[in-house]
Structure 1
Amino acid sequence: MDVSFALTGKGYVLVAADTTAAHSIIKVKSDVDKIKELSPHLLMAYSGEPGDTVQFAEYIERNIRLYQIRNTYGLRPQSAASWIRRSLAESLRSRHPYSVNLLLGGYDVSTYTPHLYWVDYLGTLAEVPFAAHGYGSYFALSLLDRYHDPEASLEEGIATLRRCIDEVAKRLVVSPGKYLVKVVDKDGTRVIEI
């Protein structure tokens, strides 16, 4: 039931995820943060099996922090995406693979460029201008394909994201009620109200 979207614009990456925790047909909570801040310029939206998602997100967060402590600098988005993909691929070949889909958004402070990566539970990695996971992706990807502009301002990006959320609310039978939206840019990560 998880729904997450992300898109890039001129100097930023917007990431949105629903805030609903569900078990079968029962809504357990409606204030879950499914976007993990991995570093000051790196966000990861996760969806999938509830136990796997939280455990894997915390594992990734702690190891990226450990890398920063050991080396006195953090991983760039490209390096973090490759390491996360490798971790998922290694878990796939173990007895207990993680069933997690990810959207990784980051801002590279050395090249001043935003990056967005789509990662699925099989360890497939792709750098994309926009992405979505979950049932909402069936409706949002066509809107993102039509309205996404890589040179859009933050306000235009939020308007595109709002279109996706409205379309999912209108067309999906069990659409989530609330979304949490975060942006990462040259100033770091922050929450945006929509």
Structure 2
Amino acid sequence: MECVFGLVGDGFALIAADTSAVHSILVHKQNEDKIMILDAHKLMGASGESGDRVQFTEYIQKNVHLYQFRNGIPLTTAATANFTRGELATALRKNPYFVNILLAGYDKETGPSLYFIDYIATLHKVDKGAFGYGSYFSLAMMDRHYHRGMSLEKAVDLVDKCIVEIRSRLVVAPPNFVIKIVDKDGAREYAWRETVKDAGAPLPSS
């Protein structure tokens, strides 16, 4: 029941993702970070098969670093998105990766941006996007409440509304989410949203 979603606000882009690592009916861990920091000003949120997700995002990260090392300048967000799409398109005809990606970045010339890239190498620049079962509800909430030029506080409030909706609607909802942002100051983790559990609470009396 994965969910990755993001949006572009006033001077920043934001990605949120669940942190559950599951296989079939088993939960292996609940602190899996599915949003990779590619470089100082880029984030890549991914969903899909665990092996493909980890291997492919690390491959993109290392190639972004290699380009900067060789040329002395970083790739723009648009260039990174097109490189990622090209690698997925090439793999599609050989050994495809089952991975869906939201790529967020900040460039001095163009500001924040968000790119939607799915496992069959479809690429779109968007203001908001989502993948996974939770996308049905997060996209509905963003369609209703999102508007261009949102402040960070309003954007995070909208993310919280999406998380609440996902938790209340999905039969098996991921309990924890991580939120990361990228702006002129760089890419960084913003917050975690964790389920409050009644640990150690006394049993009700009969």
TM over 0.5: yes
Aligned to 2:146: 148
| In 1, Cα distance between equivalents of 2:4 and 2:117 | 12
Q: Which residue of 2 aligns with 1:105?
A: 104
1:85 equivalent in alignment to 2:110: no
Provide, for residues 152-187 of structure 1, a one-character-per-residue CA deviation record: whole Å limited to 9, x for no partner.
110000001111010000101111000010000000
Q: How big is the shift at 1:110? A: 2.6
Match of 1:118 in 2: 116
C-alpha displacement of 1:59: 0.4
Mind listing any 5+ residue stretches in structure 2 that lack a counterpart? 194-206
Q: Which runs of 5+ in 1 are unaligned?
A: none
Secondary structure of the corresponding residue to residue 151 of structure 1: coil
Following the alignment from structure 1 to structure 2, what is the Cα–Cα distance between the partners of residues 120 and 32?
Answer: 21
- How far is 1:81 from its partner? 0.3
Question: When the two structures are aligned, how many residues end up with a matched partner?
Answer: 192
| Alignment equivalent of 2:169, drawn from 149, 168, 171 | 171
Matches of 1:192 and 1:43, distance apart in 2: 12
Partner of 1:184: 182
1:54-65 matches, cutoff 5 A: 54-65=54-65
- Determine what percentage of the aligned residue pairs are the same residue: 48
Give the whole-Å Cα distance in 1 for the aligned partners of 2:2 and 2:56.
16
Residue type of the alignment partner of 1:166: V
| Cα deviation digits, residues 29-64 of structure 1 (max 9, x gap) | 111110011110000001101111100011000000
How far, CA to CA, are the matches of 2:148 and 2:104 in structure 1? 14
Structural mapping, 1:32-51, within 5 Å: 32-51=32-51
* Partners of 1:151 and 1:45 in 2: CA distance: 22
Residue type of the alignment partner of 1:63:
N
Asked if 1:53 is matched to 2:53, the reply is yes
Secondary structure at the aligned position of 2:120 is classed as coil
Residues 88 and 119, structure 2, Cα contact 8 Å, conserved in 1: yes
Contact map agreement 2:37 2:188 (CA 8 A) in 1: no
For normalisation by structure 2, the TM-score amounts to 0.92
Q: Displaced runs of 4+ in structure 1, greater than 4 A?
A: none
Secondary structure in 2 aligned to 1:156?
A: helix
One-letter amino acid matched to 1:105: A
CA-to-aligned-CA distance 1:104-147 (integer Å, 9 cap, x gap)? 00011233x11000110000000110001000001111111111
TM-score by length of 1: 0.97
User: How far 1:149 moved relative to its partner?
Assistant: 1.6
RMSD: 0.8
The residue number in structure 2 matching 1:73 is 73
Distance 1:171 1:39 in 2: 35
